[in-house]
A and B are shown apart, each in its own frame.
Chain A
């Protein structure tokens, strides 16, 4: 595969536990007991790329990032 694999990462200094990401991407993100996202650190499955992009765009704090792994 020529395309570089991508990974979701959280900028923890920006995240306030708003929870939008977990609603938009429940396949990869759940919330911990304090409301902060628990992100599956594995490479992003290609099938979920579109949903991941929406979740990244929906974060009001721009805390969710999609990065080359």
Chain B
């Protein structure tokens, strides 16, 4: 067994991102972390993953070791080599942490892919990103590497909100449009080319590359028992600038948000996430145990502080319009429900709601939740319902034809490029 010669690093952050904030060449990467600590056998790393408690960083917080174990088992049963996919298709407009990681520390992610390939006996690997520029950047990084076990193909996904959803990713890598599909089979059973496929977020693979070097104990020295290690969090404060921080699980949100005087409300988890009141946010920590008290979760680490002079309803309506346009349009309830929800919310935001608007919103929300092949309707409804609750006072004012906000320029980032035709999903 080859053991890493790198010295265990101090338990300070950042771990993933280079301290100087500059993109890391292979030389800088090797100087910081040493060579890839291959284990010389399949399966070995899975125990380390389990002890580390590493959970997926793409949003669902699924235990990494369980995904690995199930892909390994499925591949063994069928006597085939599985496929590895590093998922960097960050379709969520409020998140930029995967782009930051791929931009600054591509070699850490690429090390993670190689270690995952060795662990599962995979002979094919992909890096899936939504950005042509990042794709080129990763290809340049790949050209600098000499110790890789498997070739990594960089695939650029269409810039769709849903393109990073696991089944959409598999559909795209199989030559189809990047739209979600019915499951089972899960990608871990039958994914790319029908083979068992491990899909892990790029940040998860970055952590894996560190756990392989410094061990699960080291990994757990940051964070809390229920949420081990650090995570990349995209934070948007009232100044509107997005910043990516590497923070420990369990960090008080207060420390991320800055001065609460200027914050009207807080959005956790992005456009499939949950609005909460500022005073609630100030009592919570960035971990699933703490956030579950308000029905929220860490997700992909998005934290947005809405400026106190902005209207939460106007902001939500703009984002929901985007979500409705970005529906893949495959599932009846989503196709019919999201545009109606969006239109009703826009009426409410513009103080043009009628007597039936709120009732319609509640009914349609109930009708789309849980009725699609992906979680787009569920996530959108969570976002809408939490807005109606958190901005209940503003809803009442809007029903009387008044809006308390003075700020008119949009705050939440909403891409102007939305899906209009089938070609936009290819």
Q: Mark A31-69, 1 if CB is under 8 A from B, else 0.
A: 011111010010000000000000000000000000100
Knowing A17-B332, A34-B333, A34-B336 are in contact, say whether A12-B373 is a contact too (CB < 8 A): yes
B interface majority secondary structure = loop
- A35 CA / B182 CA spacing, docked (Å): 20
Q: Mark B367-408, 1 if CB is under 8 A from A, else 0.
A: 100111100000000000000000000000000000000000
Chain B residues near A10 (CB-CB < 8 A) = 371
Q: Tell me the smallest distance from the CB of B172 to a CB of chain A, in Å.
A: 15
Residues of B within 8 A of A14 (CB): 182
Tell yes or no: A4 within 8 A of B by CB.
no
Which residues from chain B contact A12 at a C-beta distance below 8 Å?
Answer: 182, 330-334, 371-373
Q: B181 interface residue, CB < 8 Å from A? A: yes
Contacts of A41 in B (CB 8 A): 370
B window 31-63: CB within 8 A of A: none
Interface members, chain B 174-210 (any A CB < 8 Å): 179-182, 184
Which of B333, B367, B373 makes the CB contact (< 8 A) with A11? B373
**Chain B interface size, under 10 / 10 to 19 / 20 to 34 / 35 or more:** 10 to 19
Q: When chains A and B are docked, how far (Å) is the Cα of A11 from the Cα of B373?
A: 7
Across the interface, name the chain A residue whose C-beta is closest to B330.
Answer: A13
A11 touching B371 by the CB < 8 A rule?
Answer: no
Give Cα A5–Cα B367 distance, bound, in whole angstroms. Answer: 26
A33: min CB distance to chain B, Å? 7
Q: How far is the CB of A32 from the nearest CB of chain B, in Å?
A: 5
Interface string of A19-41 (1 = CB under 8 A from B): 00000000000001111101001
Known: A12-B371, A13-B373. A32 touches B333 (CB 8 A): yes
Residues of A within 8 A of B (CB): 10-17, 32-36, 38, 41, 67
- 11 new A-B contacts, CB < 8 A, other than A11-B373, A12-B332, A13-B373, are A12-B333, A12-B372, A12-B373, A13-B181, A15-B331, A15-B332, A16-B332, A32-B367, A33-B367, A36-B336, A41-B370
Report 11 cross-chain contacts, Cβ distance below 8 Å, ordered by A residue: A12-B182, A12-B330, A12-B331, A12-B332, A12-B371, A12-B373, A13-B179, A13-B181, A13-B373, A38-B367, A41-B370
